[in-house]
Structure 1
Amino acid sequence: MKRFWAAILGIGLIFNISGCSSSSTGSNGDSDKEVIKVALSDEINPPFLFTDENNDPIGYDVDYLKELEKKLPEYKFEYIFGEEETNLVGVGTGKYDFAINWFFKNPERQEKFLFPEHEFGYSLTSLVTKKSRNDIKTLDDMVDKKFPPVSPSGGLRSILNSYNDQHPDNSLTLESIENPSTADNLKRVSDGKADAIFINVTTFNEAQKKLNLDLKVSGIVSKEPIWTVFNRNEKELAKKIDKATAELTEDGTLSKLAEKWFEVDFFKDIDYIKEEGFKF
């Protein structure tokens, strides 16, 4: 997916989504609030995070953060945009208090960072095939079939590795490559050089708008929880945000945001999501 914040905001630029000053003092009572530095990805990922016609950040992540600020008036969030791995390094060193993106949990990250108890949303993983194919809907259907090259690390590969751990006698054949191109891999499937690609629904939808390939979502595989990631010393902050997240989930606020941005409530079970027919 293309990176866009460098052109719009500048890498590392501080930006206040609510439109207030980004300094630690200011009007409207901001002077007595604790400034929390939040790292956001500079990679476009609609509808989680992108920009409107005025180049202002919008999306599910932005609305979630705004709801958190309402719940936690003692804090003022200061947003810094940067490359995902750089953001994680910044969280680890304490440069940022926490980062938000569609982060999956994995053992390596859990050693380095503090994860809250409650997820703030879900990423829907899928198999994408040529439109004419109806034989691939689940990972079981991909045994003895060909995937395009996948990164040896990352959330999607972790899911595929977990499948292979659970199915040692019928494992998936995976070819690894560093920094694979989403567009190139989708073209491989469209050209018949691979049977299907395992990909997040939102990533496919955004790429397909530009590529317009002979492809479709053939099946939703899973709903994967996504997390905010905290510096390990930010236990009090993480606890407060986790409590606020749980409240926003329980009172239906996050379900409403999911329906607003994805046209489906991904807090419901996977069977319900599949029945919705991928309309999002």
Structure 2
Amino acid sequence: MKTKGLYLIFAVMLLAILAGCGKTAPAVGDSSANASAPNTASPAAKAAPKVIKAALNTVPVPLFSYLDEKNQPAGYMIDYLRELEKKLPEYKFEYEAVDNEGQLIGTDTGKYAFAANFWFKNPEREKKYLYPKQEFGYSITGLAIKPDRNDIKTLDDLVGKKLVPMTPVSGFRYILKDYNLLHPGKEIKIEDVEKTTPADDLKLVESGKYDAHLLNINHFEDAVKKLNLNLKIGGVISKESVYFIFNKNQPELAQKIDAATVELIKDGTLPKLSEKWFKVDVFKSLEYVQQGYKFRKEN
């Protein structure tokens, strides 16, 4: 319950600060700043930006979205959202913090125009939501194991092993499903769990109850550092494209954010943000990312 409370505090503070960042002071001489000033509004004056309701995650995600030591919103995704707001002044984003299931339901029903999270793409979600063509980043996936093991480095090594259970909405489940489709008779067993956290999952590996856990590298590093867990990454196995998901009735918004994202990659903004937060340019090849992570581990 204490952990859940911290997540809710994070969500409330993050949204309050983001909302405050969106406020602008009236310009000098503007009628809203000086009631006695004559109304000189030009017919060509810009229309007020369209308010767009978006869902954010309640749970802080290491390096993606969290509150820093000054209680300021920080992370790769937060910087990305700010860059989008610069590129698309015709919109004003308003955020509401909800859990993953709430984001999916709210976006499907139209309560939110889009859900700002690092969503994987899969056939089930593509039936319900609009995905941009361009990913805004990548989730780097690794295998967490005990430090005395050298027998688990790839997905092939998980056959016959006990993998930590996954929730039904876990994007990593689709990595395993794709693997199993390509390896009939040599499938990786997938166990189910209703809810879990990266910290709890990693504790199961450290205890020896399970052989390995498939997870985002950033979650691994954050949990190991905070909980002083005696674990290592046996291998970096993939970089999964991540996207925002949009309500089906928001094609124009999705297209504009898609185009802005392409520009932010081409002009080097997102690769630089990746270097800033992840210490490696995740837009480069998996081999490059694997070497970058190896360098981080050794240093």
TM-score higher than 0.5:
yes
- In the TM superposition, what are the counterparts of 1:32-181 in structure 2 within 5 Å? 32-181=48-197
Query: Hey, what's the Cα distance between the residues in 1 that align with 2:151 and 2:81?
Result: 41
Q: CA 1:262–1:94 in structure 2 vs 1: closer, same or farther (change >3 Å)?
A: same
Query: Hey, what's the Cα distance between the residues in 1 that align with 2:190 and 2:22?
Result: 48
5+ residue gaps, structure 2, are: 28-44
5+ residue gaps, structure 1, are: none
TM-score by length of structure 2 reads: 0.85
- Aligned residues between the structures: 277
Q: CA 1:13–1:214 in structure 2 vs 1: closer, same or farther (change >3 Å)?
A: closer
Q: CA 1:120–1:181 in structure 2 vs 1: closer, same or farther (change >3 Å)?
A: closer
Q: Residue 191 of structure 1: CA displacement?
A: 2.2
Tell me if the contact between 2:17 and 2:73 (Cα under 8 Å) persists in the aligned partners.
Answer: no
Q: CA 1:2–1:164 in structure 2 vs 1: closer, same or farther (change >3 Å)?
A: farther
Identity over aligned pairs, percent: 48
Residue 12 of structure 2 is aligned with which of 2, 10, 13? 10
Residue 228 of structure 2 is aligned with which of 200, 209, 212? 212
- In the TM superposition, what are the counterparts of 1:183-198 in structure 2 within 5 Å? 183-198=199-214
Amino acid at match of 1:74: E
SS at match of 1:81: strand
Q: CA 1:211–1:278 in structure 2 vs 1: closer, same or farther (change >3 Å)?
A: farther
Q: CA 1:226–1:278 in structure 2 vs 1: closer, same or farther (change >3 Å)?
A: farther
Residue 233 of structure 1 is aligned with which of 242, 245, 249? 249
Tell me if the contact between 2:11 and 2:57 (Cα under 8 Å) persists in the aligned partners.
Answer: no
Amino acid at match of 1:215: L
Query: Hey, what's the Cα distance between the residues in 2 that align with 1:237 and 1:122?
Result: 22
Query: Hey, what's the Cα distance between the residues in 1 that align with 2:11 and 2:64?
Result: 18
2:296 aligned residue: 279
Query: Hey, what's the Cα distance between the residues in 2 that align with 1:194 and 1:8?
Result: 31
Residues 90-129 of structure 1: CA distance to partner in whole angstroms, max 9, x if unpaired? 2122221111111111222111111110000000111011
Q: Please identify, of 146-155 and 77-86, the stretch whose mean Cα deviation from structure 2 is larger.
A: 146-155
Residues 232-279 of structure 1: CA distance to partner in whole angstroms, max 9, x if unpaired? 111111111100001111111100000001101100000011112162
Query: Hey, what's the Cα distance between the residues in 2 that align with 1:216 and 1:9?
Result: 30
Structure 1 or 2: more helix by fraction? 2
Amino acid at match of 1:16: L
SS at match of 2:149: coil
Amino acid at match of 2:233: V
TM-score by length of structure 1 reads: 0.91
Query: Hey, what's the Cα distance between the residues in 1 that align with 2:123 and 2:13?
Result: 29
Q: Residue 60 of structure 1: CA displacement?
A: 0.5
Tell me if the contact between 1:14 and 1:81 (Cα under 8 Å) persists in the aligned partners.
Answer: no
Residues 153-201 of structure 1: CA distance to partner in whole angstroms, max 9, x if unpaired? 4201111111111111211122222213433331222122222111111
SS at match of 1:256: helix
Q: CA 1:30–1:159 in structure 2 vs 1: closer, same or farther (change >3 Å)?
A: farther
2:36 aligned residue: none
